[in-house]
Amino acid sequence: MVAVLPPLLSDHPPEVPQRAGFGDRYHYFRGLSGRRYLFSAVPAADLADFSRAVVILAVRAPGKRLAARSVTLLDRFGRPETHERPWPPAGVGTVVLVHLLSESEAERRDLVADLSGPVGALALAA
């Protein structure tokens, strides 16, 4: 499942990890339900190390926020459910983020649906 999004903006990076020296590695994205989901920025080259995860491809936006361009589910082998060539489709300025806290396939699918929302909807992080 790959969802191409209208601009979905992250919240500002959490303060505690920033104070601990992690910079803006962590970002929250808020779904239409109001739930916040924590994503970690990873180098695109390391994405092959992840499986059963939700991946957001984003670009930098003003104010240390990120604008998500797509949300993708990775299967148990680390492949996107809908193959995009090349994978990951990370270009200059693309930020790759993973969410690893969902415990089941159903939770991951619900997360993608919550972030994707109805077609044309704009979900903003608070």
Task: Tell me how many degrees the CA angle 86-81-126 measures, rounded to the nearest 5.
Answer: 95
What is the pLDDT at residue 89?
Answer: 64
Flag whether pLDDT at 16 surpasses 90. Answer: no
Asked, for residue 122, whether it belongs to a domain, the answer is no
What is the pLDDT at residue 106?
Answer: 93
Asked, for residue 17, whether it belongs to a domain, the answer is yes
Could you give the CA distance from residue 115 to residue 3 in angstroms, rounded to a whole number?
A: 9
Number of domains observed in the structure of the chain: 1
Asked, for residue 105, whether it belongs to a domain, the answer is yes
For the segment 17-76, what is each residue's pLDDT rounded down to a tens digit? 555 555 678 888 988 888 999 999 999 888 889 999 999 988 888 877 888 888 888 988
What is the pLDDT at residue 21?
Answer: 59
For the segment 59-110, what is each residue's pLDDT rounded down to a tens digit? 888 877 888 888 888 988 888 876 566 666 667 788 999 999 998 999 999 9
- Which of the two residues, 6 and 24, has the higher pLDDT score? 24
The pTM score is 0.76
Asked, for residue 11, whether it belongs to a domain, the answer is yes
Could you give the CA distance from residue 89 to residue 11 in angstroms, rounded to a whole number?
A: 23
What is the pLDDT at residue 54?
Answer: 94
79: domain range?
2-116
Asked, for residue 112, whether it belongs to a domain, the answer is yes
Asked, for residue 121, whether it belongs to a domain, the answer is no
What is the pLDDT at residue 125?
Answer: 34
Could you give the CA distance from residue 7 to residue 59 in angstroms, rounded to a whole number?
A: 10
What is the pLDDT at residue 122?
Answer: 36
